[in-house]
Amino acid sequence: MEPQIGPPSADRGTPPQISSPERRDRNSRRPLSRLKPYAPFFALVALSLLIGAMNARFFEFNNLIRIANSAAIPLVLALGMTFVIVLGSIDLSVEGVLAIGAVLISLLVRNNSNTNDFGWFGVVLAILACGAIGCANGAIHVGLRIPSFMVTLGMWFIGVGVATLLLGGSTVRVVDKGIRSLALERFLDFPIAVWIALGTLGITWIIERQTRIGRYIYAIGGGEDLAALSGIPVRRVKIIVFTIAGTLFGLGGLLSAAQLGLGNALIGSGRLFSTVTAVVVGGTALTGGEGGVINTLVGVMIMAVLGNGMVLLGISPDLQLGVQGVLIILAVALSLDRARLKIVK
């Protein structure tokens, strides 16, 4: 008689029993897992209260306006990045596309360099050009099957190079009053740029929650192979997402040119790090399929409040960069479900 391998046949269909301590441990972790999506918001509230306790000027209305104004451009850029990251990709072309947008706007509207005066028509052309660059990012990524970070990294340098070539290394001052009004004029005490950023948030939220494209983005981020088997047009969705990102980067270029009153090739310097940091700090996982635009709003506000608070407390700029670096490492560590990761590259 041959020896029987494995458990008796009567027991093969019964699931393994979980011991009482293991069951209690799982039950104790459930409330924590339910609160995890709200952790960035709780962190924002705690950070605000802490800074307010250390410096009472933090909660002054004028200071809150400064925080909102400083968050306007990062929010627009981060909203474009959010869709790409939820998709499971990355877009490193932020600074290059923003530079092209700002430079084109500064050259097409009334300025101190040429006789152009296309006004808002020139703004639309510049933002459409940035959308076309984003479309090219997506098309190259899916058409040539090149990783998104490599394609967009190359486009970053191309964008800065083209912006430098257009200006010849100089700076063009924007004198169009309509463009400058975005930063200088106010509605309900807040700059127009803040309202544009909030309007962009509303539009992206509708795309995310109320459209088929939004559902497709999460499906692809959760598992591209399964999404393709389900009939989702993965390639088309990716191109659309990168086009949206490029368009919002161009809008960020408009707000930057309006805020600084000029356009140059380095106007977007440092925006990539702050953009990715805001998205990740808000709780959107770099692995894709999790997070969203509301998470990004919270992440941007955390960065804005932290930056404003460190200025009020007299912390040096060099140390501020170090704090931001620590923050992004902690955010990535908290957003990843390492139990599901078999391999870390």
Q: What are phi and psi of 8, to 5 degrees?
A: -55, 150
Where exactly are the structural domains of the chain? 75-269+285-291
- 54: β partners: none
Distances in Å between the Cα of 98 and the Cα atoms of 123, 157, 237, 274 are 13, 12, 23, 14
Q: Which of 68, 104, 98, 100 is nearest to 80 (CA)?
A: 98
Report helix, strand or coil for 269: coil
The span from the CA of 2 to the CA of 21, in Å, is: 38
Report the relative pairing of strands 186-187 and 172-173 from DSSP bridges: unpaired
Place of tokens 């490029």: 246
Place of tokens 């509605």: 187
What is the residue-level pLDDT of the chain in tens, covering all 345 positions? Answer: 444 444 444 444 444 554 555 555 455 456 656 767 788 888 889 889 999 999 989 999 999 999 999 999 999 999 999 999 999 999 999 999 999 999 999 999 999 888 889 999 999 999 999 999 999 999 999 999 999 999 999 999 999 999 999 988 788 999 999 999 999 999 999 999 999 999 999 999 999 999 999 999 999 998 989 999 999 999 999 999 999 999 999 999 999 999 999 999 999 998 998 899 899 888 888 888 888 999 999 999 999 998 898 889 888 777 877 777 777 777 666 655 544 544 444
Hey, how many other C-beta atoms are within 10 angstroms of the C-beta on 235?
A: 14
Q: What are phi and psi of 29, to 5 degrees?
A: -85, -15
The span from the CA of 10 to the CA of 144, in Å, is: 54
Q: What are phi and psi of 174, to 5 degrees?
A: -85, 125
